[in-house]
Amino acid sequence: MESKSRRTFLKETAGAALGLSCGGSVLTAACTSGEDSHGGGPVESQWAMVIDMEKSQDPAVREACYEACIQAHNIPRIEDPEERIRWIWDEEYQDVFPDQVHDQLPDDVKHAPVMVLCNHCMNPPCVRVCPTQATWKREEDGIVMMDMHRCIGCRYCMAACPYGSRSFNWRDPRPLIDKDAQGNVASDFPTRTRGVVEKCNFCAERLREGLQPACVEAANQVPGGEGALMFGNLADPGSEVNQVLSSQRTITRRVALGTGPNVFYIV
Amino acid sequence: MSDKGKIFFGLAIFVILVTFPFWGRLSAGDALPDRAELEYPADEEACVEDTPFMRASHMDLLNQWRDELVRDGNLEEYVSELDGRTYPRSLTKTCLSCHEDRDAFCTRCHDYADVQPTCWECHTTPGGGV
């Protein structure tokens, strides 16, 4: 009787130890792979944008940028604020920089329009939560990319993004995209489908061909808008963005969150 | 044993129903439907890879292109194993610039094979055709 219970005891102990070690290693493996595939790993280079808030006060400049983006990416025009698709748009200063707002700030500053878009963060929370890796931070150039083929429309990324940079396609966008007389859309950029999330991609498809992002190009063509948006690579010491960042006072949105935005604002 | 007749009668009906697709087709005198009549690009000799590979695996090649270009950021053009020619990794720019009439090629064969790919719900033909 005694030997039997001892035998049972040993068996149970061994089983428990085995279970613990297996469970432990599974957990460790899961955590490690999570770190490898999610969040801000090191990037080889990083595209970045600098927005001059003074120059972008001109509505013509902002409008040109928004229009260029809509045409370049076949973005549908949806009036309903609950359903609209936005890649780059206006927000009020007090909402863009809530931690910079104080009681003595005049109203016209609080309500001044500021251009906002995806920040292509160093440590993007949207990427951490995506269950299918439909969105990820591309090592080659630091762009937070999206693959619509993989997106399952769970909208975790929208909940995770502290900047509201992402939009969900509640309906088929195609009928609401601008078309010419032949019924063609403005660009060859794939339209999206119902049930996927989208956002600014820093014009990865244009960068690939050596072009500047559509909004940057458009701003530079508006009289007085030259340099309202600047774009370049942080890994290139001679780039325009690096020169501006090292010589002027710039801020980013909600620094305390630690996301590391790559869209900078000249104050 | 009095149920013997009923059982065989039931079995016979079962066999007739199960084999219906075979004898139904034969008795109707239908030959197999002709292969889809595809319109090939007039001014090109070969596709990106050889025809049997393209016929069987074009969808895998497209997925491979997508992952290499979008996910890995590989900007090099795809090198054909057939003749070393290079092609941009793009459904719209590469495939559809040759196969100009999507309906006379892609759609016709997809209809024949009874597959419903969802490519065109998002991708356009060159010039923004939706």
pLDDT digits (tens, 9 = 90+) for B19-31: 988 888 777 766 6
Q: Output the pLDDT for position B123.
A: 94
Q: Output the pLDDT for position A144.
A: 97
Nearest C-alpha neighbor of A197 from the set A162, A163, A156: A156
The residue written with tokens 């400049």 in the block is A61
Regarding an ipTM greater than 0.85, the answer is no
Q: A250-251 and A229-233: which strand pairing?
A: unpaired
Q: Output the pLDDT for position A2.
A: 46
Interface contact B129, partner A, CB < 8 A: yes
| CB pair distance less than 8 Å for A193 and B121 | yes
* Nearest beta carbon to residue A145 from set B70, B93, B122: B70
Distance CA A137, CA A126 (A): 10
Residue-wise pLDDT for A217-241, tens only, equals: 999 999 999 999 999 999 999 999 9
Q: Output the pLDDT for position B29.
A: 67
Residues of chain A contacting B66 with CB distance shorter than 8 Å: 147, 149
Distance CA A138, CA A40 (A): 10
Side-chain half-sphere exposure of B54, counting CA atoms within 13 A? 13
| CB pair distance less than 8 Å for A185 and B128 | yes
Report CA torsion sign: B80, B86, B91, B94. Answer: negative
Q: For chain A, give the number of residues.
A: 267
**pLDDT 10s digit of each residue in chain A, 267 long?**
445 566 676 677 666 666 555 554 444 444 444 444 455 567 889 999 999 999 999 999 999 999 999 999 999 999 999 999 999 999 999 999 999 999 999 999 999 999 999 999 999 999 999 999 999 999 999 999 999 999 999 999 999 999 999 999 999 999 999 999 999 999 999 999 999 999 999 999 999 999 999 999 999 999 999 999 999 999 999 999 999 999 999 999 999 999 999 999 998
A→B contacts (Cβ < 8 Å), by residue, are: 74, 136, 138-141, 145, 147-149, 174, 177, 179-180, 183-188, 190-193, 204, 208
Helix (H) / strand (E) element for B94: namely: none
Distance CA B76, CA A173 (A): 32
Task: Specify the DSSP class assigned to residue B5.
Answer: H
The fold for domain A43-266 equals Alpha-Beta Plaits (3.30.70)
| CB pair distance less than 8 Å for B127 and A148 | no
The domain limits of chain B are: 51-121
Residue B2 pLDDT > 90, yes or no?
A: no
Distance CA B47, CA B39 (A): 13
Distance from CA of B55 to the nearest CA of A (A): 22
* Nearest beta carbon to residue A184 from set B118, B123, B130: B130
Q: A47-52 and A229-233: which strand pairing?
A: antiparallel
Q: Output the pLDDT for position A22.
A: 52
Distance from CA of A71 to the nearest CA of B (A): 11
